[in-house]
């Protein structure tokens, strides 16, 4: 070991700090400005990655249903050349796949075809958290790829802004965000000061699975002035009927794909549960609850209207599902 005196160490630290600050200043301030001046587009995605495009993208590929919904909502639908097999909204996207103007590049992660994406010659790809290996390959191929992984509404707004910048649909993005904010304000103004309702969300009927505190649904439930009865757990926990009875939810929210119908719950579950006794069992389309895109605020509105029925003059969301929907269209 070299024996350094204290002075040398301090000087060393100061030098390193100055160099680091200079690099940081260049990377986060000078470089972006330089590139902005040159017409380049620089964005920082949800994974903290800086993505640079030389010009506005004219051909984009979406690797998640929520990304597809964002792109179509901001008016960039005509630029979408590739989607996943799960991208079933809006109808224009489905129509595009049908008439061949949009290609399907795969499912979620391992079954995404890089070759197919490359053949579409995209200017940018919109990926999602969990597609790490795909993103790395696209980076190696020098295809600009942004990764979305929003945890709250502000992050969704940010993702929409990024999508607007990349596709040159900044105004469209602003419009979508302001509409979303209006819906959120509408909900918040109606449920403010109401006592929170205890909510049980059924993610899956057998075994019974629900959403924990780190899920988007938990976040939406609290925004709608509800209290997820399993917010003391995380992820997608399996729960027992006994703990549901013991925690006694005021409202139960099902999805069309959870395997249980309103009738199943009302007929087979104990009347000791307030929600069952009062018939407060609702079905909300899971797409608007789990996809972090523009429609997420409809999910918020649907939850709020269901759990606080007296707070709203009229119900704008009503999904009557009498028969269980198939989990997957064969």
Residue (222 or 324) nearer to another protein, CB: 324
CA dist., res. 302 & res. 305, Å (int): 5
Show the tokens assigned to 169: 């649909």
Asked if 75 touches another protein (CB under 8 A), the answer is no
Residue among 126, 157, 230, 282 that touches another protein (CB under 8 A): 230
Q: Closer to another protein at the Cβ: 235 or 309?
A: 235
- Environment class of 202 (CB within 10 Å of its CB; exposed 0-12, middle 13-18, buried 19+): buried
Is residue 257 near another protein by the rule CB under 8 A?
yes
Residues 6+ apart with CB under 8 A from 144: 51, 52, 53, 57, 123, 124, 125, 166
Please identify which residue in 193, 207, 267, 314 interacts with another protein, judged by CB under 8 A.
207
Q: Is 29 helix (H, G, I), strand (E, B) or coil?
A: helix
How many angstroms separate the Cα of 281 from the Cα of each of 138, 260, 299, 320?
A: 45, 11, 16, 11
211 and 203 in contact (C-beta within 8 Å)? yes
Residues 98-117 that bind another protein (CB under 8 A): 107, 111
Residues within window 171-190 making contact with another protein, judged by CB under 8 A: none
326: contact with another protein by CB under 8 A: yes
Give residue 31's Cα distance to chain centre: 30
Q: Pattern of binders to another protein over 17-56, x per CB under 8 A?
A: ----------------------------------------
Question: Cα separation of 31 and 225, whole Å?
Answer: 44
**240 lies in the binding site for another protein (CB under 8 A):** yes
Beta-carbon count within 10 A of 107 CB = 13
Q: Name residue, tokens 């309103």.
A: 262
In the bound state with another protein, the residue whose beta carbon lies nearer, of 59 and 257, is: 257
Q: Contact with another protein (CB under 8 A): which of 77, 80, 86, 201? A: 86
Query: What minimum distance in Å lies between the beta carbon of 240 and another protein?
Result: 5
**Chain residues in the site for another protein (CB under 8 A):** 86, 107, 111, 203-209, 230, 232-233, 236-243, 245-246, 257, 259-260, 268, 270, 272, 324, 326-328, 330
């Amino acid at each position: 070991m070299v024996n350094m005196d204290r002075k040398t160490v301090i000087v060393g630290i100061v030098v390193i700090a100055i160099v680091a600050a200079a690099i940081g200043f260049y990377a986060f301030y000078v470089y972006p400005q330089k590139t902005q001046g040159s017409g380049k587009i620089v964005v920082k995605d949800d994974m903290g990655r800086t993505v640079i495009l030389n010009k506005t993208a004219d051909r984009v590929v979406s690797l998640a249903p929520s990304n597809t919904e964002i792109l179509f909502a901001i008016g960039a639908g005509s630029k979408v050349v590739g989607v996943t097999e799960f991208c079933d909204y809006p109808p224009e996207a489905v129509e595009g796949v049908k008439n061949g103007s949009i290609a399907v590049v795969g499912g979620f992660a391992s079954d995404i075809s890089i070759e197919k994406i490359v053949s579409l010659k995209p200017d940018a790809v919109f990926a999602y958290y969990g597609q790490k290996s795909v993103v790395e390959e696209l980076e190696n191929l020098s295809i600009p790829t942004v990764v979305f992984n929003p945890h709250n509404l502000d992050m969704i707004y940010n993702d929409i802004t990024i999508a607007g910048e990349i596709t040159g649909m900044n105004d469209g993005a602003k419009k979508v965000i302001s509409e979303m904010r209006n819906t959120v304000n509408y909900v918040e103004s109606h449920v403010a000061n109401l006592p929170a309702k205890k909510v049980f969300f059924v993610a899956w009927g057998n075994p019974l699975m629900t959403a924990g505190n780190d899920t988007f649904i938990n976040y939406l439930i609290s925004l709608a002035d509800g209290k997820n009865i399993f917010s003391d757990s995380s992820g997608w926990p399996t729960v027992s009927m006994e703990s549901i009875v013991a925690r006694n939810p005021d409202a139960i929210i099902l999805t069309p794909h959870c395997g249980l119908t309103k009738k199943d719950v009302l007929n087979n579950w104990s009347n000791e549960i307030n929600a069952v006794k009062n018939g407060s069992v609702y079905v909300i389309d899971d797409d608007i609850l789990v996809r972090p895109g523009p429609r997420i605020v409809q999910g918020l509105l649907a939850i709020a209207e269901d759990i606080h029925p007296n707070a709203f003059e009229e119900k704008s969301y009503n999904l009557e599902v009498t028969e269980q929907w198939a989990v997957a269209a064969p």
